[in-house]
Structure 1
Amino acid sequence: MLVLPGYGDTSAVITRRLHLIDPDERWTVAVAEPAWPGPAGPMWYTVDTDGPDPEGVTRAVSAVDRALDDVAGRCGVSREEVVLVGYSQGGATALATALDPRLGPPPAAVALLAGYLVHRDDDELDLSRAHGRPVLVAHGRDDDMVDPLRGRAAAKALHRRGAVTSWQEVAGSHRLGPALLAPLAAWLDALADGRVPHQPPPGV
């Protein structure tokens, strides 16, 4: 499993929460940190009034693509067996990587925590790449940084293109705490047991 922290976060933010993410230590976990410095810490890309910087998103996706190959090689598996998890900006980057048709095979599954679907050029986004693959979209209903509507919209778009989507709206705000990590842990347990969780978002 490859985990992408959010804006301003380092790998320590993830490693301190591994007891919540994978309490039974069923997964081999690697963390890829954002590579670009920002005013609040490392970031995957910059965001302005027009949204994420397209060139920055492309750089971030390329970095995660390389990390997927590296993790797969170190673990002796194919990249199609790696689960990709991201929080906030890291979640948006994880999903953008999985859906980029210019890259190699997409990961086995993707978990998007308090994230969103990055709007990119038509040739840089292919939702059909998630077809048949498990996708978790979890969001705090009181998130004041990334509107839950954006997470729900991503879940609906993926479901309509054939992803095996699980939508979880939980109590809380934009925080990588127990409320947001509990559905991730349950989803990962299901995958480890060979089950494919499926809870489509409402209204689809």
Structure 2
Amino acid sequence: MLLQTVEQETGAEPQWTVLWLHGLGADGHDFAPIVPELLRPHWPALRFVFPHAPVRPVTINNGVPMRAWYDIVGMDFASRAEAAGIAESVEQVEALIAREAERGIPASRLVLAGFSQGGAIALATGLRRHAPLAGLVALSTYLPGGQAVAAQRHPNAVAQPVFFAHGDGDPVIPVQHGLASAQALERVGFEVAWHRYPMAHQVCAQEIADLGQWLDRRLAG
């Protein structure tokens, strides 16, 4: 069954899709207000798709059920992400990508974005893609499994450019984990645009402006 989504279209007959995954405990409404800040007047019509993650117990939050893309079983970044949950979420995201293809928007005109947990799933999905997406956006996040997982990427996956952004003062996912993930992707052939900002575990205006510029180049291409 497809995940429920919040959708916004910026014009009739969208030619591109931005599929955006929220963070732990949030939902698909979380990033919808960013759309007007991101848009450029000359862009083609876009469809923004913001899915709701399933509700599941989260171990580090005392097992309290909340919207989560995977269980977090501990604080060690090397092993904290539950592999079965990541695999399940990747399948659910792939189903949404397939639906966009059925609606006339192929993978080559779809950007997959995510914040925090959602960013981890965006990266995990992108690494497995044999049909490259238009780009990957990883905000305040990290790659579960790090270099070992990056080395297992599909050979075609490296055609996907990556916008990777992180806050210097992030207390949830310290910036060194984001940087190490960006470097792991670069080492296996990805083109990574790395940005860091004086902020915590959040997004900021300059980050959205920089992402808009990055998207501008994707849409023009």
Question: Does the alignment reach a TM-score above 0.5?
Answer: yes
Cα deviation per residue 1:20-49 (whole Å; 9 max; x = unaligned)? 233548332111221234537311011012
Please give the TM-score of this superposition, normalised by the length of structure 1.
0.83
**2: CA distance between counterparts of 1:134 and 1:40?**
34
CA RMSD of aligned residues (A): 2.4
1:118 to 124, 131, 144: 144
**1: CA distance between counterparts of 2:178 and 2:150?**
22
- Report percent identity of matched pairs: 27
Aligned length: 191
Q: Which residue of 2 aligns with 1:33?
A: 52
1:185 to 212, 216, 219: 212
Structure 1 runs not aligned, ≥5 long:
195-204
Q: Which residue of 1 aligns with 2:86?
A: 57
Q: Which residue of 1 aligns with 2:172?
A: 145
Cα deviation per residue 1:89-130 (whole Å; 9 max; x = unaligned)? 000000001112xx6523221010011101188699416443
| AA of the residue aligned to 2:20 | V
Which structure has the greater CA radius of gyration? 2
Q: Is the 8 A contact 2:71 2:85 kept in 1?
A: yes
Q: Which moved more, 1:83-92 or 1:115-124?
A: 115-124
2:125 to 86, 93, 97: 97
Q: Which residue of 2 aligns with 1:11?
A: 28
Deviation at 1:146, TM superposition (A): 0.6
**2: CA distance between counterparts of 1:12 and 1:123?**
30
Structure 2 runs not aligned, ≥5 long:
1-17, 58-63
Cα deviation per residue 1:49-75 (whole Å; 9 max; x = unaligned)? 24011111111111111111112322x
Partner SS for 1:52: coil
Please give the TM-score of this superposition, normalised by the length of structure 2.
0.77
**2: CA distance between counterparts of 1:122 and 1:186?**
29
Q: Which residue of 1 aligns with 2:194?
A: 167
Q: Is the 8 A contact 1:130 1:158 kept in 2?
A: no
Deviation at 1:154, TM superposition (A): 1.5
**1: CA distance between counterparts of 2:107 and 2:118?**
18
